Every structure is written in C-alpha cells, then in structure tokens.
C-alpha cells in the first residue's frame, strides 16, 4: 500500500508546479492601469509625430498670407 501512495505524491507535485506556472503566466499577462497609461501616451506621441511629419512635408507656411477666413470656431 505504501508503494502506491508514493506514486501519487510526485503526480501531485507536477500538478502543483503546472498550476503555479499557469498562474504565474496569467499574472504576467495582467494589463494594469499603468500599462494602459503608458500605451496611450505612446500612441499619442506617434500621432503627434505623424502630424509633425505631415506639416513638414506640406512646406513652410507664410504667416503674412494667412487669412482668418479659413479658421473654424
């Protein structure tokens, strides 16, 4: 009887290690509010960079020839 009881102990240890690995993976995949904020900041920085590149590609703007008619309020 003792021999069969010893075989179940390593199996329980393997199950516990497997569950611990799964829970550690799930915890690592957790998306916190700090992660969200950093992702949002990165996305906004990319959008600003694209806008700057587009404005540079459009060429210089002559401030003296700009009329107020084109402005939207």
35 token code pair? 């992660």
Domains in the chain: boundaries? 31-57
Per-residue pLDDT of 40-58, as tens digits, reads: 999 999 999 999 999 988 8
Under the banding of pLDDT at 50, 70 and 90, the label for residue 8 is low
Rounded Cα–Cα distance for residues 33 and 39 (Å): 10
Per-residue pLDDT of 11-39, as tens digits, reads: 668 889 999 999 998 888 888 889 899 99
Rounded Cα–Cα distance for residues 20 and 8 (Å): 18
Question: SS3 helix, strand, coil % of the chain, rounded to 5?
Answer: 80, 0, 20
Rounded Cα–Cα distance for residues 14 and 32 (Å): 30
Residue 65 has pLDDT above 70, yes or no: no
């Amino acid at each position: 009887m003792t021999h069969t009881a010893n075989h179940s102990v390593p199996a329980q240890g393997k199950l516990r290690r497997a569950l611990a690995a799964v829970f550690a993976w799930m915890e690592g995949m957790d998306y916190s509010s700090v992660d969200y904020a950093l992702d949002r900041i990165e996305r906004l920085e990319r959008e600003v960079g694209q806008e700057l590149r587009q404005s540079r590609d459009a060429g210089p703007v002559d401030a003296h020839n700009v009329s107020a008619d084109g402005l939207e309020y």
